[in-house]
Amino acid sequence: MDALKACYGDGSSDSDSESVPSSSTLARPKVLTPLPPPPISLLDPPNFIGSLDLQIGQTTRVRSFPHVDGNYALHVYIPINISSPSKKELAAFLKKVSCREPTLNVVDVDVALNILCQNDEKLEQIALGREFHISLGRTVPIRVHQIDSVVTMLRQKLQTQQYYWIDFNKWEIFVNDERTRTFVSLEVVQGGLVQITKQIEAVNAIYKLHNLPEFYKDPRPHISLAWAPGDISHSLKNSVDEEMKKCVAGKPLKKCIFSCKFSGIECKIGQKTYSVCKISDGR
């Protein structure tokens, strides 16, 4: 999975190149490199129970910047994993939204969400069983001679992070910079927001020293769970809002949709992942 993500880029909470609000000021690249769809074998992980006829969509993913020999894609992020009890609730909500928006696909594997909804187990495992990311900086190209400097500075500034909880409180819709994709996301608006914002500021400082584009002025930390082609933000937001109203009708308002522990920060450069800091459960 990691190798596949490295090749195709991360389309979830990799908020920099694909799942960010449309307020970015980055110029659209002149050359877009199309990528083939991922192999269907990815949809049959080892020891998976049951079978389902899944078809890969013919959508074409493009990079936010053209490939140049000697450049490596840099991405700094917080890894996020969803617990089993939360997966069931999220899967149930996504199933309802997909009935309203049949063009929705699963982030990364690019499979139609309504196909996965035919099997609850596969919906939970394929759509929600992967590792998600809260981006702390844009995904940008760097040169090979910058790698050691970037990794060293990230570790120096971020290795002493403290333990905290991250609360995902809000369903939100984001559109990528090119307005070619719309994302269904979970946003952090309370617990963990202060800490994540400080981490983004630290990453920004390092990016600036290396002449790399900084993150958005008003960052909105989130992970993305599903996407649809084009800019359908208006209709998709209406669908999500309507389903949210049904979920909370006559029920006490939940403090957050789901929570997870901050476990550390990682940096992926090309196909190699570097640990910037790691927080043990004991801290």
pLDDT in tens, 175-221: 998 899 999 999 999 999 999 999 999 999 999 999 999 998 889 99
Kindly state the tokens that stand for 220: 């909105």
Query: Domain map of the chain by residue range?
Result: 67-278
Query: What integer pLDDT is reported at residue 109 of this predicted model?
Result: 79
Q: 3-class SS at 229?
A: strand
Q: What is the mean pLDDT of each run of 10 residues along the chain (283 residues)?
A: 42 40 42 46 40 44 59 95 92 94 89 91 92 94 95 95 94 93 96 96 96 91 96 96 83 78 95 92 55
Residues 6+ apart with CB under 8 A from 97: 104, 184, 226, 236, 239, 240, 243
Residues 6+ apart with CB under 8 A from 56: 37, 38, 40, 110, 111
User: CA–CA separation, 240 vs 102, rounded Å?
Assistant: 13
Number of H helices, E strands in the chain: 8, 13
Chain CA centroid to CA 133, Å: 5
Kindly state the tokens that stand for 222: 């989130």
Q: Which of 71, 80, 97, 56 is nearest to 226 (CA)?
A: 97
Residues 6+ apart with CB under 8 A from 281: 261
Residue with the two structure tokens 């069983």: 129
User: CA–CA separation, 158 vs 173, rounded Å?
Assistant: 29
Kindly state the tokens that stand for 183: 């994302």
Q: What is the DSSP letter of 112?
A: B
User: CA–CA separation, 94 vs 71, rounded Å?
Assistant: 37
Query: What integer pLDDT is reported at residue 281 of this predicted model?
Result: 63
Query: What integer pLDDT is reported at residue 39 of this predicted model?
Result: 46
Query: What integer pLDDT is reported at residue 112 of this predicted model?
Result: 93
Tens of pLDDT along 266-281? 999 999 999 999 987 6
Provide the angle, in degrees to the nearest 10, between the axes of the packed helices 233-248 and 84-100: 120
Bridge pairing between strands 165-168 and 105-106: unpaired
Query: What integer pLDDT is reported at residue 170 of this predicted model?
Result: 93
Per the CB < 8 A criterion, the answer to whether 94 and 225 are in contact is yes
Chain CA centroid to CA 48, Å: 24
User: CA–CA separation, 16 vs 134, rounded Å?
Assistant: 10
User: CA–CA separation, 148 vs 243, rounded Å?
Assistant: 47
Q: ∠ at Cα 27 (25, 13), nearest 5°? A: 65
Query: What integer pLDDT is reported at residue 250 of this predicted model?
Result: 61
Kindly state the tokens that stand for 48: 């998976």
Q: ∠ at Cα 10 (6, 11), nearest 5°? A: 150
Distances in Å between the Cα of 158 and the Cα atoms of 185, 219, 272 are 26, 18, 19
Active site residues: 133, 222
Q: Please give the class, per CATH, of domain 67-278.
A: alpha beta
Per the CB < 8 A criterion, the answer to whether 226 and 107 are in contact is yes
Query: Letter for the amino acid at 204?
Result: N
Query: What integer pLDDT is reported at residue 253 of this predicted model?
Result: 59
